[in-house]
Amino acid sequence: MTPTPPPTPPPRRPSAPGPHVHHPLFARFYARVSVSADAHGGLGALRAELLSGLTGRVVEIGAGNGLNFAHYPTTVTEVVAFEPEPHLRRLAEEAARRAPVPVTVLPGTAEALPAETGSFDAAVASLVLCTVRNVPQALSELRRVLRPEGELRFFEHGAADSPALARLQRALDRTVWPLLFGGCHTSRTPLSAITSAGFTLLSHRSFNLPEQGPRLPSSPCVLGTARR
C-alpha cells in the first residue's frame, strides 16, 4: 500500500514586500531604554494590561526586542511576532525562548504580513503605529489576518489634546523626530486610524507616560481593544 503523503501546509498569502526597515543605531538605543522603561517606568504593567485575557493564536506586529512576550497569558496558544529590524529581531528571538507561551519570531512588516487571511484570534500593536510607513495599510493587513470578531489590542502614543504640544509634535515630525527615533512620529492619531480601518472600538483609556512630570512629545498614550 502506498503511504499517504503528509498534508501540504496551507499556502501563505503572496504579499508584496513591505518597506525595508534598517535602523541599527535606534535598535541598539531602544533595546537599552525599553528594558529600563519596562522595569522602572511602568511599561511592564501596561504590557500586562494590554495582553490580559487574550486567548488562542495571536499576531504581533513590530515586536521590537520582544518585551511583550513575558506578559502573554497562558490561555494564548501561539504568538506569531513579526519584526523587520534585524538587531531587534535577534533580541526578540531570545525573548521568545523565555516566554511562557510558544512564540515564533519572523521577519516581516505590518504593511505586508506573510500570513493567511483570517488565521488569528487576536492582533497586538504596541508602540508601532507611530513608526510603520503606511498606517492604513498596516491596519488593513491586521484586519485581513484576523478572524471575524477577532480582537485588536493596541497601546500607542499619539497626538496631544493641548494645541501647543500638538503644534510641537507636528514640527518635530516634519524634522528631527523620525530621524532620531527609527521612523517614529508623535502626531499620529491611532484611535481614528483604527476606526477608519473598519475596526469597532470596544474600550480604551488615554493617559500620559510618564504619568507624573513633564509631558514629552511621546507622552499622550492610548491603550485599548477593538473588534474586527
Ligand X SMILES: C[S@@+](CC[C@H](N)C(=O)[O-])C[C@H]1O[C@@H](n2cnc3c(N)ncnc32)[C@H](O)[C@@H]1O
Closest approach, Cβ 41 to ligand X, in A, equals 12
Nearer to ligand X (CB atom), residue 57 or residue 153: 153
Tell me the residue number closest to ligand X, measured at CB: 64
In the complex, which residues of this chain contact ligand X (CB under 6 A)? 18-19, 21, 30, 34, 61-64, 67-68, 83-85, 88, 109-111, 126-128, 131-133, 182-183
176: cell is: 528631527
116: cell is: 493567511
Q: Of 89, 87, 80, which Cα lies nearest the Cα of 114?
A: 80
Residue 223 near residue 214, CB atoms below 8 Å: no
Residue 71 near residue 100, CB atoms below 8 Å: no
Nearer to ligand X (CB atom), residue 58 or residue 132: 132
CA distance linking residue 184 with residue 181, whole number of Å: 5
Nearer to ligand X (CB atom), residue 89 or residue 228: 89
Closest approach, Cβ 166 to ligand X, in A, equals 20
Nearer to ligand X (CB atom), residue 82 or residue 199: 82
Closest approach, Cβ 228 to ligand X, in A, equals 19
Q: Of 105, 27, 35, which Cα lies nearest the Cα of 63?
A: 105
Closest approach, Cβ 56 to ligand X, in A, equals 20
Closest approach, Cβ 128 to ligand X, in A, equals 4
Q: Of 33, 25, 133, 176, which Cα lies nearest the Cα of 86?
A: 25
Angle, helices 43-51 vs 24-40, to 10°: value is 90
Nearer to ligand X (CB atom), residue 111 or residue 173: 111
